Amino acid sequence: MPTDPFTELWEGKKISWKKLLTFLLFSFIFSFCLFASLRQFRTNEPEDYNSYLPTERSQTGSTCAPPKSERRLTILLWTWPFGHRFTFSNCSELFDTPDCHFTTNRSWSQKADAVIMHHRDVYGDGERLARLPRLPSQRWIWFNMESPSHSPNLGAMNHLFNLTMSYRRDSDIFTPYGELQLLSQPQPFSIPPKTKMVAWVVSNWRPGSHRVKYYEELKKHIPVDVYGRHHLPLSMDMLHQTVSQYNFYLAFENSQHEDYITEKLWRNALSSGTIPVVLGPPRENYEHFLPPDSFIHVDDFASAGELAQYLQELSRDTERYQRYFQWRKWLKPVLGIGWAMQVCRACHFLQRTEASYHVVPNLSKWFV
Q: CA 31: distance to chain centroid?
A: 57
Between the two ends of the chain, the Cα-to-Cα distance in Å is: 108
- For 159: left if phi > 0, alpha if psi spans -120 to 50, otherwise beta; the answer is left
Catalytic-residue membership of 146: yes
Closest CA to 173 of 181, 182, 162: 162
From 70, 146, 216, 217, active-site residue: 146
Closest CA to 265 of 249, 247, 281: 249
Q: Which residues lie across from 77 on neighbouring strands?
A: 116
Catalytic site positions: 146
